[in-house]
Chains A and B, each alone.
Chain A
């Protein structure tokens, strides 16, 4: 494979300096990057290994009630952290529905946010891809695209963001803490991922050298813990990316929805926050009709990018189901088949 430099900086500052160089990329667990490198999709000159940096693997509750999660916390450790699933059940369920147990043990919080699309044309270096190589064209647009985006896509790119984790996070207004060449800043997770437009090669708001050091869930995120679910339809029961997924979180007071949060996965180049749907749910009773209306609002702007019109109807149904499940109340334990439509099936022992 291509020769590359490997550096292991001692501090975040050193890491940022090393990664700001052209051709440098960060390496955390590498569950995505190494595959990309083996396939020739990504050919970096320099890997900046951040896994040994101190202080990025903590989960801490801040004075204001926020939860701050270090970028190097593994997906498995976060999902199994005492209290995390109780406070943020949809996030835990999403984490445990992703990948496989082995991958979750390795994969990091920061890496999950920055995983690349699973569009087959992005991975196939014999195909044209504007995201992989700007300006070459998009072979997915008229290709095998039943899994591609139905929201926010452009003629340049119809890829989707594959993360499960990001879907409830964006619904809960998670914030990303970034260390860059000009010091520390923070942005809403909803602002991290970009829609493709004419520049699908620019996937995030990060600048060269920017390192995600932590993820923060604001105090209000806990307020949904009694009514929060993640639902993921996929083509096998485990170890598959979402065809469509949804995170639904409700705050119910006196039989009415005081506040609703809704986001969709597998439908766009970013985790898709459905604010219009949230708006129609505010102040109404959690009824099937209200959820249907929310589903229509959530997908109002959707349009097929190929052989994927079914995803729009499926997404509507998933929204209704996720809201229905959330309204019914968070289960006492994370289901044995997290986020699966079959989560309630007795006797399931696999995750």
Chain B
């Protein structure tokens, strides 16, 4: 029986019995009790501890390491260095596909960035390995570090993000600017930021001959497995990875990281299981980050406040040895109906670990600049910033001219503004004060994120007792995949969620693709949905072809799966339970596979994006410049909401991240050494509870028949976009000071009093 096409609307599905319910996370009790086993919680017998020694300089080479001193330390078993390490099957410098990034796995003594691993000490205890690493006392040959956005000659990279064109344009931007009555020409800067997942990158690796068992947090089980297989020259089926829970990933655990590879190498070197966990400061280097940007926006508008042109250029950085370019300017492709749009990027190379996808890569950096600039233009036109956005509302995607598959942004603006009380806002800045004398400012930002789909497979089964099984190597990073995907699975096989055994998080299950791009629920969900449809179709075949069944003759399309029974569509009095069907057929279980994938025809025809509108209130001390966000309302339209409870949590998290982007987060890089000077959670500021105001999330109804079979657009990243700009714009409205360098610092707001 052929597997069902995932984009066909399946007749059997009855949304609402599981999908749409605000279930609390099913792994919550385990986590509260400390019983959820994260990678570093595993301790196989005989396990040793590995600690990486990392580079103190960011460019040069390691001249010497005191391996003798380290090895002499009690408890140290071995020291892995470029001269003493197991061989790899392929050169880690070779990029076999765009998703392979170069990694530092002791292939040479060259140092390309600070905190690069330069040796691994393996010992009986963590303490011994730590001291062994300290005793290596590396000496360096130092070269001047390349630091900052002006570190060298800029160049135009071939692509930005994942294969996006570096430059795109539509219409004549220069003519549009020339004809404009109002012009904005402003430069915005965003700092380097680090993912800082609560759980550090960790691995527990055990070799048994050529079989490899791995516990490791990953957002991409099969991508990691394929990379490991390639690096170590072993077959895929020799590798088993467990990744049931991640303490956050945010893009930094999407691809196999160098230090995790070192853990596998260390286990091979010593012939015993090895655990390697990065220290917090060691995460500021080899596991990716968000690159800094400097963005220039030139915008023109006519006398009525209609955009005539939008030119967005972004400068960013990549490492000296690999390529990832934050696609910041691409944020200007989709939101505002300028007749002429141009986006472009250039870059310089610096001594840094290669930048990587970090929650809303490009969208987050680009959005804060775009939303600030649009706000500046609204003010230049003498218009309310929300009215200005509505005036320039894009009915079709501006850069492509395609219709949107769905777009409820107008409703987001309306509902968000109503909830926030936006109508009472003063047009002029620095007009509103509270009773205590603090400056009050209100800002708005538009949120947008593409509705993406990747590739995934799932396997479904109905067992003889009438229960269901759904298998997919999906990833729960904390976002709630264990719950949301199980809800989809339950509906897909027409059972209550407690009657479906949902398996995820290991590499022996069908490939769920990558948990990234806000596409995991949509992609894995589509595969689950299609596998469910396929297994139900098999079951229906058994029943409808059996003359002893009350469903005999109903035909495939003539039955509905519901509550563990197949029900005749045209006569609900005729039904039969799954268990009865299987028992009579003498079959232990039926099983079927399904796939989730993008629909190229729909993508060709439609622009697919989630949207939202975020409103923020800040208070600013008029003399001292300290800022506090006091209210935020976000209204988001993201297609079908699988679990409103988890979706709100995701959107809350995104909005807090946006607040953080505007006011707090920055990796401070020493301008000479290239070292990150605040590589810890005390000094790398993110909001604490006292910084987070009451948040209000509205999910706006949106039905999208084109994005995928389930109509899911994804909510993992969109909350950041819009929010950062809304906070920045609120600070301007409070103070009259337009800060274009983020995060906004106290000193920028001390100019007036």
Interface set of A (CB-CB < 8 Å, partner B): 1-3, 39-40, 100, 118, 120-121, 124-127, 139, 142-144, 146, 233-240, 243, 310, 313-314, 317-318, 320-321, 337, 340-342, 344-345, 348, 350-351
Contacts and interface: CB of A to CB of B under 8 A. Distances in A.
B626 A239 contact: no
Contact of A350 (B131, B436, B683, B689): B689
B677 A341 contact: no
B624 A239 contact: no
Contacts of B231: none
Given A143-B670, A144-B670, A237-B628, A314 B57 contact: no
Nearest to A345: B436
Nearest to B57: A126
B671 interface: yes
Contact of B664 (A139, A235, A318, A342): A235
Given A2-B131, A144-B670, A314 B625 contact: yes
9 contacts: A126-B673, A238-B689, A239-B688, A310-B750, A314-B750, A317-B753, A337-B690, A344-B436, A345-B438
A120 B753 contact: no
B626 A341 contact: yes
A314 B623 CA distance: 8
A23 to B, nearest CB: 16
A321 B690 contact: no
B619 A124 contact: no
B750 A313 contact: yes
Contacts of A321: 623-624
A144 B671 contact: yes
Interface of B: 56-57, 114, 127, 130-131, 134, 281, 434, 436, 438, 619, 621, 623-626, 628, 630, 663-664, 668-673, 675, 677-678, 683, 685, 687-691, 745-747, 750, 753
Nearest to B127: A1
A257 to B, nearest CB: 21
Given A40-B134, A143-B677, A317 B619 contact: no
A230 to B, nearest CB: 14
A80 to B, nearest CB: 19
Interface centre among B677, B688, B689 (most CB of A within 10 A): B677
B670 A139 contact: yes
A120 B57 contact: no
B690 A351 contact: yes
Contact of A3 (B131, B678, B747): B131
B691 A124 contact: no
Given A1-B127, A236-B664, A126 B114 contact: yes
A310 B624 contact: no
A242 to B, nearest CB: 11
A345 B127 CA distance: 47
A314 B747 CA distance: 8
Nearest to B664: A236
Contacts of B619: 342, 345
A88 to B, nearest CB: 24
Nearest to A39: B281
A318 B690 contact: no
Closest 8 CB pairs of A and B: A126-B56, A350-B690, A310-B747, A237-B690, A120-B677, A238-B690, A341-B621, A317-B623
B625 A342 contact: no
A233 B626 contact: yes
A120 to B, nearest CB: 4
A243 B746 CA distance: 9
